[in-house]
Chains A and B, each alone.
Chain A
């Protein structure tokens, strides 16, 4: 934006005159293919990448440019990268030792893992073959939001998670060491009779924690959950904990490894035999196990026994019986307390759906919808005793039900994968013991035009506070978009339609 130094006395004329030559500039332009942020497991942003196509080369090859910005938006490295014309940049992560890119080539049916060290030197590529069926499953899992294709393990290596077309669909977890250690693979059994998926959710310099889900067939709505814990050095299974429908159905939202070498699992529990995707949960739980798998504590807080009693009314003052909470994240603070973040929702009749149904007797319209309202944050102490529930007002969002006959819970899970909720992401700052919950709110304002706002609820020094950024200027000339940024910040992209000017800048959230 500002150039500070150009110490030359000049006769006013510059090389920008070259810009007058349209055809030269057109030929020399880089075409953007995609861009994204380098995000770690706490949703902290290490930097940003831009992937451009530069040139057509022989043998269906292309020259690409990968431009990297640090988390202060300073351009640091622009590397030339040559690969097949069908290559796309699927994911990128940083582990403090290296940067890894997962390059995907649909035609050649492969992933290529490309690493750059901290001097910007490219390492040896790793090829991971993947067939069309596996690709479809990876795409489906990515869309669900519960799938980490690449997970950085700080100062150790990277985990690459993909799908294997075994007898039934299975998984493969590949660990690539960047600290000189051993790389390994952990796969689901080739002859497994169930569809099995894995999502690595936590790792440190000792173990990898992953969530395994399994179901009998694609159409089956019964999902069994299992936590598996692997040795980071060898990839050997240390222990697993099963949460099957018959005995102990649970929906695990988060897992944390603590300094005390324990694993904390958080989520919702159900009655024996309940389907975790369809049924209403019985409450929330926190379970602590040591790294040998021994259960140290299992704390539960029930809806009827405790939660409903202290649940405040909705922000409009009404207390509704048929309101549910969809939990997006559970955060454990450094003090050991817990905060569960969710959005309230309820099933309502859709006027548009009813009218549509009347007009189109063949169907195709949902008569019901999910109405998503306030943000709720549950506060628990270190022993998982529910202390408080705070409600934060948020404008209503409505999403047509996927199916009118399904339970609200099942619809909520389905709509979550379609991005129907207003929740965006939660960032955790372990250093300062803070967290930031971000969501989009459509504010209905009296006497002025309704506005969309990017809202953040922040936890700091034991207190929750709010900040918001409106996503359009009053005159509507400038459009804003908000992207994740380093802890406690957001990246704002402003586009001025009139001047065709794009500006990006970092802003600190106001606590």
Chain B
């Protein structure tokens, strides 16, 4: 009981403290409180683990907790006041409509990742990626995803999943297989890979069922709220679509980077070398079956199951009756996505998000020009120190992300001197639109200086 009060206090202190700081949104001032909260919920969760392999399972969760703390210290999460405030409103709706949820220990972190994903850690920690907030279109959809994650928590899926995998891994059957492999003189590696594959497939198959269970309970929680129920299906649809392509907005780089004093050069988008192979997907004679299992069928399966179980389609549509907090969240997310990719030096993604968001009027012209100029400055800096390849992968012939490939080809083809000229031309041409913007002026000065202007 004492423990619960302790980390309830920590939980509240996170909310309060995060509301006070905006200086560094990656490392909050109350980092120690957050660490304390995570350790406390982890400890409580680990204390509750018993039975077979409990020490091994406890170690898995303990290690994971350490990884989460390191990830926070490595700026993998964003602590933004407005996003949190809007998310809290949504969560309050869900909790109020479902009093059976004991949400005192729950905390939703926002991960910087652009992968449209969310996760339940099993001990009260949840995370929602910026990529998911960016991908969904309404508060209703986000509410369903949150209900789904809470359902995982209520159904104790994390611990059950780990326990099941451990039981499989250390079962007599698996042990015998491993012993048999060890006795084998020939073909041991292939045999071991085959066992790993079987275990992986079992986990993935189990995961399909588990996701469907979380959908069902999640939908029950969701249907207790005032959110529009068919949006549960549209949320799933969006997650299915993103598997095909995330970055589909056309990147007209030859117009974005074409200036009167420094016109765009066609060779910046030319691929000069010949590929070793004339193939459209990777060939791997050692690929495991489990590696090729896609998430598509799972989403289709889950959607159909949800429709059968709850007859969602025929449900009467309700009118939207309140302010959509996801729209509010997305205003910040649009900026955060650009800033976070820029801060991480993922300049290919930063350019994509700047162009896409500017063209779709999600960010204003001043923010667009400021960050595009900053991107060019950063590009110059990481090229000069021979670090660009660490952050921006080269074009891949196997990637479906053609627009992203185009940006990568462009960035890799640019020479340092060309970035110098490009940055100067960009600032010079857009400077009249950016009067009184000190940050832009600084970037302009930087390019002026290296261009000896």
A residues near B, CB below 8 A? Answer: 1-13, 15, 17-18, 20-21, 23-24, 27-30, 38, 46-47, 54-58, 63, 65, 68, 70-80, 94, 96, 99, 118-120, 431, 469, 486-487, 490, 492, 494, 503, 505-508, 510-511
Contacting residues, chain A, for B397 (C-beta < 8 A): 70, 74, 76
The verdict on A120 contacting B181 (CB below 8 Å), with A57-B187, A80-B286, A507-B388 known, is no
The verdict on A6 contacting B117 (CB below 8 Å), with A77-B276, A492-B386 known, is yes
Residue of A nearest to B201 (CB): A15
Task: Confirm or deny: B331 has a beta carbon within 8 angstroms of a beta carbon on chain A.
Answer: no
A72 touches B395 (CB 8 A): yes
A12 touches B204 (CB 8 A): no
Residue of B nearest to A494 (CB): B390
Residue of A nearest to B298 (CB): A8
B158 touches A13 (CB 8 A): yes
Contacting residues, chain B, for A505 (C-beta < 8 A): 389-390
In angstroms, how far is the closest chain B Cβ from the Cβ of A13? Answer: 4
Contacting residues, chain A, for B449 (C-beta < 8 A): none
A11 touches B119 (CB 8 A): yes
The verdict on A20 contacting B120 (CB below 8 Å), with A10-B211, A70-B397 known, is no
Question: Which residue of B56, B122, B416 contacts A12 across the interface (Cβ within 8 Å)?
Answer: B122
Question: Which residue of B169, B283, B388, B412 contacts A79 across the interface (Cβ within 8 Å)?
Answer: B283
Question: Which residue of A58, A78, A490 contacts B285 across the interface (Cβ within 8 Å)?
Answer: A78
At the interface with chain A, which of B188-196, B254-262, B306-314, B353-361?
Answer: B188-196
B residues near A, CB below 8 A? Answer: 56, 60, 114-122, 145, 148-149, 152, 157-158, 161-162, 165-166, 169, 178, 181-182, 185-193, 195-196, 199-200, 203-204, 207, 210-211, 214, 239-240, 242-243, 246, 272-279, 282-286, 290, 295, 298-299, 346, 383-384, 386-390, 393-398, 401, 404, 412, 415-417
Residue of A nearest to B166 (CB): A17
In angstroms, how far is the closest chain A Cβ from the Cβ of B234? Answer: 14
State the CA gap A27–B193 with chains docked (Å): 8
State the CA gap A321–B292 with chains docked (Å): 69
B286 touches A65 (CB 8 A): yes
Count CB-based A-B contacts (< 8 Å). 218
Contacting residues, chain A, for B282 (C-beta < 8 A): 75-78
Contacting residues, chain A, for B346 (C-beta < 8 A): 2
B178 touches A10 (CB 8 A): no
Contacting residues, chain A, for B417 (C-beta < 8 A): 510-511
Question: Which residue of B200, B214, B389 contacts A11 across the interface (Cβ within 8 Å)?
Answer: B214
Main secondary structure of the interface of A (DSSP, over half): mixed
A77 touches B162 (CB 8 A): no
A12 touches B60 (CB 8 A): no
State the CA gap A57–B398 with chains docked (Å): 33
B186 touches A5 (CB 8 A): no
Contacting residues, chain A, for B286 (C-beta < 8 A): 54, 65, 78, 80
Select the residue from B239, B273, B384, B412 with max chain A CB neighbours within 10 A.
B273
15 contacts between A and B (CB under 8 A): A6-B295, A9-B145, A10-B211, A13-B158, A15-B200, A17-B169, A21-B169, A46-B273, A55-B188, A55-B189, A57-B186, A68-B277, A78-B286, A80-B286, A120-B283
Question: Which residue of A10, A76, A469 contacts B276 across the interface (Cβ within 8 Å)?
Answer: A76
B162 touches A76 (CB 8 A): no
A46 touches B276 (CB 8 A): yes
Contacting residues, chain B, for A47 (C-beta < 8 A): 276
A510 touches B193 (CB 8 A): no
Contacting residues, chain B, for A5 (C-beta < 8 A): 115, 242-243, 246
In angstroms, how far is the closest chain A Cβ from the Cβ of B106? Answer: 14
Residue of A nearest to B210 (CB): A11
Question: Which residue of B158, B199, B200, B387 contacts A507 across the interface (Cβ within 8 Å)?
Answer: B387
Contacting residues, chain B, for A55 (C-beta < 8 A): 186-190
B158 touches A70 (CB 8 A): no
A510 touches B383 (CB 8 A): yes
Contacting residues, chain A, for B192 (C-beta < 8 A): 24, 27-28
State the CA gap A510–B415 with chains docked (Å): 7
Contacting residues, chain A, for B242 (C-beta < 8 A): 5, 7
In angstroms, how far is the closest chain B Cβ from the Cβ of A82? Answer: 11
The verdict on A3 contacting B396 (CB below 8 Å), with A118-B277, A492-B389 known, is no
Residue of A nearest to B346 (CB): A2
Contacting residues, chain B, for A2 (C-beta < 8 A): 346, 393
Closest 3 CB pairs of A and B: A505-B389, A72-B394, A27-B192
State the CA gap A3–B397 with chains docked (Å): 16
State the CA gap A193–B215 with chains docked (Å): 85
Residue of B nearest to A13 (CB): B161
Question: Which residue of B121, B190, B193, B279 contacts A119 across the interface (Cβ within 8 Å)?
Answer: B279
Residue of B nearest to A469 (CB): B386
B277 touches A120 (CB 8 A): yes
Residue of A nearest to B278 (CB): A118
Contacting residues, chain A, for B196 (C-beta < 8 A): 18, 24, 28
Contacting residues, chain B, for A508 (C-beta < 8 A): 383, 388, 412, 415-416
Contacting residues, chain A, for B389 (C-beta < 8 A): 492, 505-507
State the CA gap A221–B23 with chains docked (Å): 74
State the CA gap A12–B199 with chains docked (Å): 17
Contacting residues, chain B, for A9 (C-beta < 8 A): 117-119, 145, 148-149, 211, 214, 239
